[in-house]
Amino acid sequence: MSGSSEWTRIALLRAVLGGAAGEHVLCGIGDDAAILAPVAPQGGALPGGAAPLVWTVDSAVEGVHFRRDLLSFEDLGYRATMAAASDLAAMGARPLGLLAALVLPPDVSDDDLGAIAAGQRAACDEIGAAVVGGNLSRGGEISITTTALGVAAAPLRRDGARPGDALALAGPVGLAAAGFALLDRRVSPAGAAAAAAIRAFRRPVARIEAGLRAAAAARAAIDVSDGLAADLAHLAAASGVRVLLDPGALVSAELREAAALLGADALELALYGGEDYAVAVAGPDVGALPGFVAIGRCAPREEGASDVALLGPDGQLTSLVARGYDHFA
């Protein structure tokens, strides 16, 4: 194909689109969400008291992000909503609302549309927000583009982690990838682990409350949806730190069992499986945050060393090669 990687293309967009923003744009292209300081309708500053807005958009495209044979229409609506909300969670923001732009091929019936909306509604009820508008269009493939708007007194960004900070994680990693693999191979073994994995894939949960709890304690955060290693590499690069992970903290009993059903490596799934919509945070005391699990720490950046490494029990480091999901690769 003729295009560059997703990251190169984001840099291209930043070069063309950046620099035109007003002073109220506190964070533009490159983090989980944009951060805006609201201004008065006349264009001047507000009289005070207005917290920054956190704002994101996310697309779920048929054949790229989902397959209709593995998910119900209700699942599609649910997942698309949670994927957008997860960007707010990673900034420590409270959702104000969501808008959804639906592109629907002719074979999507009114009942199917109703099921998509029911899934959106269920996800919204879970996070305490609502879809307050949107757009409908015909198209050749289903796509659901969701934009979520939130508010945060001090939004978390990717670039605030410092050497010595602890790393913590809210939400499972690897389980959604295990669930996808089980469904894809048409093996749906009985048992709690398989059910949990399939549920993690079909009904991921944005960690809004965890993000709000982290907002005061963390110095940096990132949405984990492209795979933990890849997303932490972004946090490490933005913050100028090196991330050292405790492999024992990444694999839950459920993930170990689900991986065994697949004959897969549980740690591989935890590091590289995507679509979890977990939130990783860095800060001095984040390991003690309710709803979070301590997974490692930040170290000084080292010339020529990988941004992310596994820390063995005897202190030896294993470099991880960046290997996330690239939509354009």
Q: Which of 96, 238, 264, 317 binds a second copy (CB under 8 A)?
A: 96
Taking the C-alpha atoms of residue 275 and residue 180, their distance in angstroms, rounded to an integer, is 10
Between the alpha carbon of residue 324 and those of residues 22, 226, 267, 271, the distances in Å are 33, 6, 15, 9
Q: Which of 139, 240, 247, 291 binds a second copy (CB under 8 A)?
A: 139
276 is in an annotated binding site: no
Q: Which of 1, 186, 263, 313 binds a second copy (CB under 8 A)?
A: 1
Binding span for a second copy by CB under 8 A among 141-149, 165-173, 245-253, 288-296: 141-149
| 123-126, Cβ contacts within 8 angstroms, sequence gap of 24 or more | 123/77, 123/78, 123/79, 123/81, 123/82, 123/85, 123/206, 124/81, 124/98, 126/82, 126/205, 126/206
Residues 46 to 75: which contact a second copy by CB under 8 A?
46-51, 53, 55-59, 61, 63-65
Minimum distance between the CB of residue 179 and a second copy, rounded to whole angstroms? 22
Q: Which of 94, 118, 185 is nearest to 194 (CA)?
A: 185
135 is in an annotated binding site: yes
* CB closer to a second copy out of 140 and 313: 140
Q: Which of 172, 190, 166, 202 is nearest to 266 (CA)?
A: 172
Show Cβ contacts of residue 192 under 8 Å, excluding neighbours closer than 6 positions: 254
Residues 290-329: x where in contact with a second copy by CB under 8 A, - otherwise, as a string: -------------------------------------xx-
* CB closer to a second copy out of 141 and 302: 141
Q: Which amino acid is at 79?
A: R
275 is in an annotated binding site: yes
What the block records as the tokens of 118 is 């029911």
Residues 167 to 206: which contact a second copy by CB under 8 A?
none
Residues in a beta bridge with 242: 299
Minimum distance between the CB of residue 259 and a second copy, rounded to whole angstroms? 28
Residues 97 to 136: which contact a second copy by CB under 8 A?
97, 99-101, 103-104, 106-110, 113-114, 117-118, 120-121, 124-125, 130-136
DSSP state of 160: G
Q: Is 213 in the site for a second copy (CB under 8 A)?
A: no
Residues 16 to 45: which contact a second copy by CB under 8 A?
16-17, 20-22, 24-25, 28-31, 33-34, 36, 38-43
325 is in an annotated binding site: yes
Q: Is the dihedral of CA 152, 74, 196, 201 positive or negative?
A: negative
Residues in the chain, how many? 329
Count of positions on this chain that bind a second copy (CB under 8 A) = 91
Q: What is the dihedral of CA 37, 40, 42, 44, to 10 degrees?
A: -60
What are the binding residues for ATP? 134-135, 158, 225
